[in-house]
Amino acid sequence: MSDAQDALFSFDGRPDGLGDGSDPAPWPFAAGLEAAVQTGAVHPSWAPGLAPVDGRLRSIAAELEARRAAGERILPAPERVLRAFSAPLDRVKVLIVGQDPYPTPGHPVGLSFAVDAHVRPLPRSLANIYRELADDVGAEPPAHGDLSAWADQGVLLLNRVLTVGAGESGSHRGLGWQKVTDAAVAALAARGGPLVSILWGRDAQALAPALEGTAVITSAHPSPLSASRGFFGSRPFSRTNDLLAGQGAAPVDWRLPAAP
């Protein structure tokens, strides 16, 4: 089950048009990777790893623009699509893989499993992540879904597919985003440690061969349909910190602020 399918269990009462993909902003990668780097959408350290998919980024941008011109509302907002790559590659020490952005306007922020801080109630997958977080390391679950505090510590929250049509779960899986995100994962694996990858569910676990030789934690997906089949009790957060310690890296402080 993808992140996107959490739309079945969540509601967003935020007015449309507030940085949620309804505006006509240009795609930062429409002119290719170099343009995305120049605008700050992609950190320069990702450029060598993503260079082989420069053409793919251009073709995806062209398709997104055609869809938008035809009336499709695309999420997240253009400036957030490549957000996962805006921080330095060298700072990444934990990879958490999601599937698709949430298809509810106002929800997706360019980081897997995260939502805008205003969203209530939280998507069910994220609520289950918080439940396991509390059981695992005793962290008090916040009321919000802003995970930027994790990203700031080197946790790469990466969806396999980086855009979606509003209200249409999985609608952009055929655009070729997997080639882009696969290239990013390959760049991480080639860089080496310290690195721990958390792969929840079969779609994420398809990346395991590309991460061979690095530390990988797998379990069922945290969605309501599968969390009870191996996600709960899997202790991914404490296990990650143990594996980081074994690589000589500082642990992640998984606690999140009460308010972002």
The answer to whether residue 252 is domain-embedded is: no
> Which residues share a beta bridge with 164?
75
| Residue 183 forms part of a structural domain | yes
pLDDT tens digit string along 205-260? Answer: 999 999 999 999 999 999 999 999 999 999 999 999 999 999 999 999 999 999 87
**pLDDT the model gives residue 227:** 97
What confidence tens digit (pLDDT) does each residue in 39-63 have?
Answer: 999 999 999 999 999 999 999 999 9
* 24 within a domain of the structure (yes/no): yes
Between CA 177 and CA 8 the distance in angstroms is 24
CB distance 199 to 205 below 8 Å: yes
Strand 155-159, strand 164-165: pairing: unpaired
In a domain, 254, yes or no: no
The verdict on whether 100 is a catalytic residue reads: yes
**Residue 1 falls inside a structural domain:** no
| Mode of pairing for the β-strands spanning 74-75 and 164-165 | antiparallel
Q: Where are the beta strands (DSSP E) in 87-190?
A: 94-98, 155-159, 164-165
CATH of the domain at 180: 3.40.470.10
Domain that holds residue 175: 14-246
Taking residues 94-120, what's their average pLDDT?
A: 96
Active-site residue, selected from the candidate residues 100, 116, 136, 203 = 100
Q: How many domains does the chain have?
A: 1
Read off the amino acid at residue 141: P
Please check whether residue 165 lies inside any domain of the structure: yes
